[in-house]
Amino acid sequence: MDDLDFTDSELERYSRHILLPEVGAIGQAKLRAASVLIIGAGGLGAPMIMYLAAAGIGRIGIIDDDLVDLSNLQRQVAHTTDRIGVNKAESAAATAKAINPEITVNILPFRLASDTIDDLFSQYDVIADGTDNFETRYLVNDAAVRQSKTLVTAALLRFDGQITTVKPGGPCYRCLFPNPPPPAAVPSCSEAGVLGSVAGILGTMQATEIIKEIMDVGDSLSGRLMLFDGLSMSLRAMKAKQRKDCPACSIAHPETG
């Protein structure tokens, strides 16, 4: 099939995209040719997976070794009550394929590991971080920088969230947060709670950023940290600068450090 050759089904499915001047047939073809690895099928990953599947991302990888729990269902909208006890990657993949059977979904029902992360990242165009712990967040950032991959990362707690994009030559997560906070300094969602719809907002923002990066349209969040406050329904952007002493990006890309 030619890059701009769409089936009648695809033309109908993506008609509202193709009508957009910023997307058109060329942009939709870019989405179809792209691959995205989503790390974590939880509060952030679930809406990301659903919107990226609906958008027609050609291949989506979902990595998660956790099982669906009843307490997840308040925010992890890719899962359903009848899938309690099912692996989250498998459950989210079933939802993605139900939304769009024309895409490919790679089910990765295991934990991300430092000795295999580089090989895994090399198989995808864009990385999306939907994890909920600092150890994995730094592991993902460092591997994305080493692999020169675009990374869209977000986090949330209670009514608040944050999102940024890491691109080759720009500031990375370690430039913003050089070191993880002390243990127990930042409570988890299971300890402090989170409004379910906030996860939906941030996960959908991640999906939007990923789509923009693939099509190369609009302004990237690279170099900016976007802060969302659900109680005041406000967004605030902070500038991010690359640190010359950053142990991740200044070493991987010394010419930009």
- CA dihedral of residues 18, 23, 29, 34 (deg, nearest 10): -130
3-state secondary structure 137-189: HHHHHHHHHHCCCEEEEEEEEECEEEEEEECCCCCCHHHHCCCCCCCCCCCCH
Per DSSP bridges, beta strands 234-239 and 35-39 are unpaired
What is the C-alpha separation between 53 and 47, in angstroms, rounded? 10
Q: Which of 87, 81, 84, 83 is nearest to 63 (CA)?
A: 87
Which residues are identified as catalytic?
Answer: 189
